Each structure stands twice: as structure tokens, then as C-alpha cells.
Amino acid sequence: MKRIASLIALIALFLLPAAQAQPTQEELEAARVTLDGRCALGESRACVLLGRMYRTGTGVEADLARAHELFNLSCASDPSLCGDLGALYLSGDGV
């Protein structure tokens, strides 16, 4: 059940318009835990989503160095996911 709540929070966080209800802190924490576990298992898209949470400070304290680390992991395993890493380099944030 927690996994379903985490996935719903992710969808709300990244796909729904801002006018929609925002996820609760508990949902964001559940999403962070789920994404962290999946990223540790090598799921590149989970690393990107977790990196975006750290880049924007959504549900976690903003940490550009951690975001860079996560984006680098995802980019190394799937070049189609390098856009967020490129954006950090372009802005000079976290690098």
C-alpha cells in the first residue's frame, strides 16, 4: 500500500498541474524513500526523480551536490536521461 501511495505522490509531484492538490509531506517522504531504494538498485528514472526533489527542495532540504550525484548516476546508465545533469552544468549549480 505504501508503494501505491508513493507512486501517486510522484505522479502528483511531477505530472499534474500546479492547480491540483499538492502532495503531503508524508507522501513526499514515502516517495523519497521509494525512489532512494529504487535508485540504489540501479533504476535510472528513480535517480532522476529523486535528483529533481533534491534540486528543487521538494519534500527534502535542497541539496544541489546530491542532485548532481543522482543526475550523474542516471546519465551514466541511460544517456537519454542526461538533460537534468546538462541543465545543472549550464546553470553552474551543484557542479
pLDDT in tens, 11-31: 666 655 555 688 999 999 999
Q: Which phi and psi angles does 24 have, rounded to 5°?
A: -75, 165
Residues whose CB is less than 8 angstroms from the CB of residue 2 and which lie 6 or more positions away in sequence, other chains included: 30, 34
Average pLDDT over residues 43-66: 96
32 close to 60: Cβ distance less than 8 angstroms:
yes
d(CA 5, CA 78): 27
Q: What pLDDT was estimated at residue 22?
A: 87
d(CA 32, CA 9): 10
Q: What pLDDT was estimated at residue 95?
A: 74
Q: What pLDDT was estimated at residue 31?
A: 95
Q: What pLDDT was estimated at residue 6?
A: 64
